[in-house]
Amino acid sequence: MIPLTQPDLTEAQRQLGEQKKQLFLHRVNLLLNNIKQWATEAGLQVTAGQVPIREKFTGLYTAPSLTIGLPEQKLADVIPVSAFVIVADGLLKVSGWLGREHIAYLLKAEQTFYPIAQDDWYWIEETTDNKAHLMSKDTLLTVISMVSDYEF
């Protein structure tokens, strides 16, 4: 039986974990609301779900997720991955039958790899160059195409 939280954490670490988790879930909710709107505008169907996440400083918790598709075909799942991640301040993945892409919350003040204008969610393009694309309706549709081969 896996314990819900790690037994060897200090109180300060637990508090940090809780704060970071709450901020992560708040930002995830904002992003998922935008994604719902963008996908609906593009004529796609969106279904809400939930996923379990287990992290060292938070233990087990539940986060909201989305499934995006056409009436007869699922295109992608948008799944929160972790509040704690290097380089970024939260991570989601978009998975389809073809592949997986990452969306990360980048902080302008702490960012050294990606030239960004504001704190926000970005699609991290996995090329040799460092390209981060601010999440928007166009970016969302590009990411869905990347993981599903579906062309809009």
> Contact residues for another protein (CB under 8 A)?
2-3, 6, 54-57, 81-82, 84-88, 91, 97-100, 102, 104, 110, 112-113, 124, 126-128, 130, 149
Based on CB atoms, which residue is closest to another protein, 42 or 125?
125
Query: Whole-number minimum distance, CB 82 to another protein, in Å?
Result: 4
Least distance between another protein and beta carbon 87 (Å): 4
Which residue, 10 or 112, has its beta carbon nearer to another protein?
112
Rounded CA separation 99/103 (Å): 14
Amino acid present at 49: G
Closer Cβ to another protein, 87 or 116, answer by number: 87
Task: List 43's β-bridge partners, or say none.
Answer: none
Instruction: Report the alpha-carbon distance of residue 152 to residue 57 in Å, rounded.
Output: 40
Q: Least Å distance between CB 40 and another protein?
A: 27
105, 89 in Cβ contact below 8 A?
Answer: yes
CA-based end-to-end distance of the chain: 46
CB of 91 to another protein, least distance (A): 6
List, in order, residues 6 or more apart from 109 with CB less than 8 Å away: 119
Q: CB nearer to another protein: give 47 or 73.
A: 73
